[in-house]
Amino acid sequence: MPTHRSASADARRVAFASAVGTTVEWYDFFIYGTAAATVFGPQFFPQVSEVAGTLAAFATFGIGFIARPLGGVVMGHYGDRIGRKGMLVWALLLMGGATMGIGLLPTYATIGAWAPVLLVTLRFVQGFALGGEWSGAVLMSVFHQLSAGKSGRGPGSAAFAAGTVAGHCCASAAGGAAAMPTHSRTPGRSVAIRLIESPFKFGVDGAASLIQGPITRDARLPRWRPSRRR
């Protein structure tokens, strides 16, 4: 049984890791917007006008927002069943792989129509990974705060939100010169691997029966019965 002091230390470590991981994920997600505005139009949609190519590039940017809820649902489901730490690592790997793939992706002049198809696919993976990472970071941070005897509110539980802002600022500061870099994901991945698993991994008080089939359980609607008037 962890002491209050060790639980507090774990909560601070998880809050820091959530901020770092979220910063890295949102940086990759937002830097795509810079690349869409400056690079992707002429490189992946040269068969249309310059304006239409830019609009098409921004349309691929929106694919990530469509994929985010799906990533949160799927990774949240398996996070409840097998642990959120593993899902966070997978999310970082997926985001890093997709970002590197976009940076190395051949253009339309090289592989033709496959270039925009692969671009959309990789952007979908980015959004899927971000949805899973962000929701998992929220739960990890809040649950560790609760385990440490705190209310689940305050700086520790807000670390993931600070990571969102930091990632946006980093992407804006990088500008077009660093659009879609093929950088390493070692810092974010190493932080996620060293995380302590959520204390509520298997449900409240270890009741594994509470989370059997989380998606189907949450989607199940209560039965409605008409009231009988006398």
Q: Determine contact, residues 136/83, Cβ cutoff 8 Å.
A: no
- Answer yes or no: is pLDDT of 120 > 90: yes
Please state which of the ranges 72-76, 117-121, 221-225 shows the lowest mean pLDDT.
221-225
What confidence tens digit (pLDDT) does each residue in 12-34 have? 777 777 777 788 888 888 888 88
- Please answer whether residues 35 and 150 qualify as being in contact, where contact means their C-beta atoms are separated by less than 8 angstroms: no
Report CA-CA distances (Å) from 91 to 143, 146, 158, 183. Answer: 19, 24, 20, 16
Residue 105 has pLDDT above 60, yes or no: yes
Domain ranges of the chain: 14-219
Q: Decide which of 111 and 150 is more confident.
A: 111
Task: Please provide the average confidence, as pLDDT, over all residues in the chain.
Answer: 74
Using alpha carbons, select from 121, 91, 96, 118 the residue that is nearest to residue 107.
118
**Model confidence band, residue 219 (pLDDT cutoffs 50, 70, 90):** low
**Local confidence band at 205 (pLDDT 50, 70, 90 cut-offs):** very low
17 touches 191 (CB < 8 A): yes
| Residue 214 tokens, joined | 């989380």
Where does residue 153 fall: left (phi above 0), alpha (psi -120 to 50 degrees), or beta otherwise?
Answer: beta
Min mean pLDDT across 39-53, 78-92, 163-177, 191-205 is at: 191-205
Q: Report the C-alpha gap between 147 and 93 in whole angstroms.
A: 28
- Listed in order, strand segments (DSSP E) in 60-217 are none
The answer to whether residue 203 scores a pLDDT higher than 50 is: no
Q: How many CB atoms lie within 10 A of CB 84?
A: 26
Residue 46 sits at φ, ψ, to 5 deg, of -75, -15
Give the H/E segment covering residue 95: helix 84-103
Distance CA 154, CA 177 (A): 37
Predicted pLDDT of residue 200:
53
Place of tokens 């098409």: 56
Q: Is it the case that residue 40 has pLDDT exceeding 70?
A: yes
Topology of the domain covering 14-219: Growth Hormone; Chain: A; (1.20.1250)
Q: What's the rounded mean pLDDT across residues 160-183? A: 70
Q: Is the pLDDT of residue 135 over 70?
A: yes
Gap between the Cα atoms of 27 and 130, Å rounded: 10
Residue 206: per-residue pLDDT: 42
For 144, 150, 165, 179, the CA distances from 168, given in Å and listed in that order, are 26, 29, 5, 13
Q: Residue 65: pLDDT above 50?
A: yes
